[in-house]
Amino acid sequence: MNSEHRMELFACRASKDFACKVVDALNKIAEGDEKYRLGASEVTQFSDGEFVPSFNESVRGATVFIIQSTFPPQENLMELLLTIDAAKRASADSVIAVMPYFGWARQDRKDKPRVSIGAKLVANLLTAAGVDRIMTCDLHADQIQGFFDIPVDHIYASKVFIPYLRSLNLENLAIAAPDMGGAKRANAYAKELACPVIICHKSREKANVVASMTAIGDVEGKNIVIVDDMIDTAGTIAKAADLLMSKGAKSVRACATHAVLSGPAYDRINNSSLKEVYFTDTIPLKTGADTKKIKVVSMTETFASAIRKVYHYEPISTEFIF
């Protein structure tokens, strides 16, 4: 490692708070004379909506980490792409995009004729911008890692959720998947927590609209935690909670990595049978929203540890549970 090699951390606008907490966590685990800070950058905005990100300090020869979740995906993705491009043009040695939430991940295949595969397109755009590595959390589909021809560090929120769920000391615990697609995730949680699995099977009329739902498994008397990668409009999770309670569950909670929470999501959570909902902080909660049922479990320490290990060429396998 030459004397010029150094780490520079920057954040785009959507993830400034998350990035500040990551820096704090990095300084807690720093060794020797290591000292971390968030670099200075700004975004110049034009009246027509166009904007220009820029760095206010040199990044020449540095390993640059740019932290940005792409929610809502359009403008935040564009800001990330422009910031990556700025870093490459400023002679950064390497650029690593830290994307706690990867937007467009639900478009991972052609599920009907004449549609795009948005996740692959985003992978291409990031690569074209010049990124050298991606770090992200709980992709909607694991195979999205294969859309990249660069390293992808896929961190699982189970790293923080499993210990948190254990700390609740719930009797007769059961883990539920909100749909068949979440069965693998639910099974992994259930294996770690040594409890049974329940599968909710749903059919959709169209995107974000659930037509019908049934539950497979022993529900009676169980304290159930539904696990998922994200909650968007909360239609599925609310319907699943009401269904499980109607079948004799003692209580129903939900545990999801990304708090997308669009449209009527907050109201649906508050009006549902859900006792509590646990999210990570990959996406900030809406300012002023009613969050009485919501608890946030932070991923910043996990990301800080992964960032430091990647920079020092250390293995990050300890950041994974499954």
From the candidates 21, 159, 184, 202, which is the catalytic residue? Answer: 202
DSSP string covering 3-57: TT--EEEEE-GGGHHHHHHHHHHHHHH--TT----BPPEEEEE-TTS-EEEEESS
- For residue 10, give the nearest of 57, 95, 58, 67 by alpha carbon: 67
Q: Could you count the other beta carbons within 10 Å of the beta carbon of residue 10?
A: 25
Quote the CA–CA distance of 50 and 82 in Å, as a whole number: 11
Structure tokens of 209?
A: 């609209």
Quote the CA–CA distance of 37 and 10 in Å, as a whole number: 9
For residues 42 and 53, the answer to whether their CB atoms sit within 8 Å is yes
| 275 counts as catalytic | no
Catalytically active residues, by annotation: 202
